[in-house]
A = this chain, B = another copy of it.
Amino acid sequence: MTATIRDVARLAGVAVSTVSLVVNNKGRVSKKTEAKVKQAVEQLDYHPQRSARGLVTQRSGNFGFILSTDHFSQAEPFYTKIFLGTEFEARSFDYYILLTTIDKHFNADRAPRFLLERNVDGVILVGTVPHKIVDYIAMRDLPIVLVDYDLPDTKHSAVLIDNVGGIRAIVHHLIKLGHCRFAFIGGDMKHPGMSQRFNAFQQTLADAGLCVDNDCVAAEEEMSGIETGYTLMQKLLPHHNKFTAVVAANDAMAVGAVRACQGNGFHVPNDFSITGFDDVESAQNLHPALTTVHVPKEKMGAIALRQLVDMIKNTAEYGTKITIPVRLIIRESSNQPRS
């Protein structure tokens, strides 16, 4: 049904190879034949067939995009936005994205089919992802870019959030408002980004000559959602006279924390300032609107893609870590401490 390269060649009165040269504009073809060929291509609406091209070039023109199932189905479209950035950028580089989710316990014989069938030229892995699958992909020596995740003991490219800079900005902002007694809400400490935020929190305070009461740190292992924030804030509230500002490790938990306060008759920010991190959608809609750190999610996805492309073109090193700068967003949830 659809036109093949042979049809184009026949119509243009040239050899098949010449058509190929024109289409991929490689080699030198005279202006005249080029025009002829292009006209024929146009007329037949010819597009090279992916599989045929892939067979000879051994390139699929696809990238794999892997994230854990629970990340993807999360209420907040944090990772969805990263994907969007990648997908959009991919289009302009003529790559396609094969998205798949894997669950926490990766099992080698349930490996994404696109790996087995050599149907991708590189892989982007986003968020917390089993160590095993990274090794698995590396073994098949495909270029890898991690996003918002880092494996400490390996040498893979990664696109990372400037967690330290973000937390530092938040804390300095609060100090400038006059706060000197802080609490912290953290979750999912297995995620390197989370623990990074916590460490930055402590470090920044230490640098400012302040220290944190143990009662003012609440952290949970597994989750880092609204529920978690709510629960942890409940644990913090009994010691509410020990702090005036609460730094949450992300917006979701901050939202939960605000709710817990309001549910217990406290006012934000009059009684406590509460801050988040990530600048997700609901941070703006919240009442009071959340002071937080903006993370450019789409941009991160785009940069990861570009990094992958560069690695394939060999114009980028295979272990580059890219740290994405973030921006403090001051809204209503932070204010001067109660007197």
A256-269 vs B, Cβ < 8 Å mask (1 yes, 0 no): 00010000000000
Interface size class of A (residues with CB under 8 A): 35 or more
- Which residues on B sit within 8 Å (CB–CB) of A324? none
Binds B, one of A111-119, A149-157, A197-205, A331-339: A111-119
Q: Is A74 an interface residue (CB 8 A)?
A: yes
- Which residues on B sit within 8 Å (CB–CB) of A287? 259
Within A93-132, which residues are at the interface with B (CB < 8 Å)? 94, 96-101, 113-114, 116-119
Binds B, one of A25-33, A42-50, A209-217: A42-50
Known A2-B118, A47-B116, A50-B117; 5 more pairs at CB < 8 Å: A50-B54, A50-B60, A50-B114, A99-B99, A226-B285
- Closest-by-CB residue of B relative to A73 is B84
Residue from B50, B81, B119 within 8 A of A96 (CB atoms)? B119
Q: Is A313 an interface residue (CB 8 A)?
A: no
- Give 21 pairs: A residue, B residue, CB < 8 Å, sorted on A: A47-B116, A47-B118, A49-B117, A49-B118, A50-B114, A50-B118, A51-B51, A51-B52, A51-B53, A52-B55, A75-B282, A77-B77, A84-B101, A87-B99, A91-B100, A91-B113, A96-B113, A96-B114, A96-B119, A97-B99, A98-B98
- Which residues on B sit within 8 Å (CB–CB) of A114? 50, 96
- Which residues on B sit within 8 Å (CB–CB) of A48? 117
Q: What is the distance, in angstroms, from A193's C-beta to the closest C-beta of chain B?
A: 21
Q: What is the distance, in angstroms, from A1's C-beta to the closest C-beta of chain B?
A: 8
- Which residues on B sit within 8 Å (CB–CB) of A99? 87, 97, 99
User: Assuming A60-B51, A75-B281, is B118 touching A101 (CB within 8 A)?
Assistant: no
Q: Is A196 an interface residue (CB 8 A)?
A: no
A61-93 vs B, Cβ < 8 Å mask (1 yes, 0 no): 000000001001111110011001001100100
Residue from B49, B50, B91, B117 within 8 A of A47 (CB atoms)? B117
- Which residues on B sit within 8 Å (CB–CB) of A97? 98-99
- Which residues on B sit within 8 Å (CB–CB) of A51? 50-55, 60, 119
- Which residues on B sit within 8 Å (CB–CB) of A52? 51, 55
Per the bound structure, the CA–CA distance linking A84 and B100 in Å amounts to 9
Stoichiometry (number of copies):
2
- Which residues on B sit within 8 Å (CB–CB) of A75? 76-77, 281-282
- Closest-by-CB residue of B relative to A117 is B50
- Which residues on B sit within 8 Å (CB–CB) of A87? 99-101
Q: What is the distance, in angstroms, from A81's C-beta to the closest C-beta of chain B?
A: 6
Asked if A80 and B72 make an inter-chain contact with CB atoms under 8 angstroms apart, the answer reads: yes
Instruction: Select the residue from A47, A50, A54, A285 with max chain B CB neighbours within 10 A.
Output: A50
A128-143 vs B, Cβ < 8 Å mask (1 yes, 0 no): 0000000000000000
Per the bound structure, the CA–CA distance linking A55 and B60 in Å amounts to 12
Q: What is the distance, in angstroms, from A250's C-beta to the closest C-beta of chain B?
A: 15
Q: What is the distance, in angstroms, from A261's C-beta to the closest C-beta of chain B?
A: 13
- Which residues on B sit within 8 Å (CB–CB) of A101? 84, 87-88
Within A225-280, which residues are at the interface with B (CB < 8 Å)? 226, 259
Q: What is the distance, in angstroms, from A100's C-beta to the closest C-beta of chain B?
A: 7
Per the bound structure, the CA–CA distance linking A88 and B102 in Å amounts to 10
